[in-house]
Amino acid sequence: MGAVRRYGQACPLATAMDVLGERWTVLILRELLLGPKRFTEILGRMPSIGPIRLTDRLRTLHAIGVVSKPDPAPEYALTDFG
């Protein structure tokens, strides 16, 4: 795997693109725009992403506040910020 590329700019648009520019991220957001989904539902709609990469992307989106997964709820959903 190659190094993660970042724009390294203080601009809000560049910061957003650091996240949205990652492969699969926009497609995950597309799925969640249609409503909350379980991990297996997202994976089923995008089987070539692989479970490890999907986990990584969801963790990143959760860490920055775009996606929520309230415990013990099994579904991921977009936050108001997302």
**Measured between alpha carbons, how far is residue 55 from residues 8, 14, 17, 48, 66 in Å?**
25, 24, 19, 13, 14
Full strand arrangement of the beta sheet holding 75-78: 37-38, 75-78, 67-68
Per-residue confidence at 7, pLDDT binned at 50, 70, 90?
Answer: low
Amino acid at 66: V
Q: Which residue is associated with the tokens 């699969």?
A: 24
Residue 37 has a CB neighbour count (10 Å cut-off) of 18
- The pTM assigned to this predicted structure is 0.80
Q: Which residue is associated with the tokens 């579904």?
A: 75
Mean pLDDT within 48-58? 94
